[in-house]
Structures are given as C-alpha cells and as structure tokens.
Amino acid sequence: MTPAAGELVLHAAREGLLLVLLLSGPPLLVSLAVGLLVGIFQSATQLHDQTISFVPKLAVVTLTLIATGPLLGAQLVRFSQALFAAAAGFR
C-alpha cells in the first residue's frame, strides 16, 4: 500500500467516525433531554413506571429521525459517493 493510499484510508476512517457522531447526535441529544424531563416528572410525582420513561423517548426520537432524516441521509450519501469515487481512483 502506498503512503497516499494509507493517508486516504486514515482520512476516510476519520471522516466516517465524524459522520457517525453527526448522525447519532440529534436522536441522542433529544433522548437525553426527554429522559431528563421525564425523570424530573417522575421524581415530582413519585410515579416510577418503566413505560413512562420509555414511550416518550421512543416517540420523540422517532419524530426527530423523521424530521432530520433527509438531512442526515444526504450527509451519508455524500460520504458514500466520495468514498466510492476515491476507491475508484486506485485502479
């Protein structure tokens, strides 16, 4: 493997890891915020049921993925196209 190929692989791996952070950020942050709000609600009402915590998180994360899906999908497609274009240049 040539030094340029090694650099390309490291760059692709770095960009892939950054893309994973970008794609997972919105659902995780929304889930964290809803979990905090539900936890405060459960502490205030002393109502501790597992489904009270799970159902709102599931609903909000689903809505977040629906809302941000096109943007996140476009990022993933752009990365994949760049990766395939770079791989095609190694012939």
Domain ranges of the chain: 3-88
Of residues 37 and 3, which shows the higher confidence score? 37
Q: What share of the chain is helix, strand, coil (3-state, %, to 5)?
A: 90, 0, 10
> What gap in Å lies between CA 62 and CA 55, rounded to an integer?
11
Q: What is the pLDDT of residues 39-82, one digit of tens each?
A: 999 889 888 777 788 899 999 999 999 999 999 999 999 999 99
pLDDT band at 86 (very low <50, low <70, confident <90, very high): confident
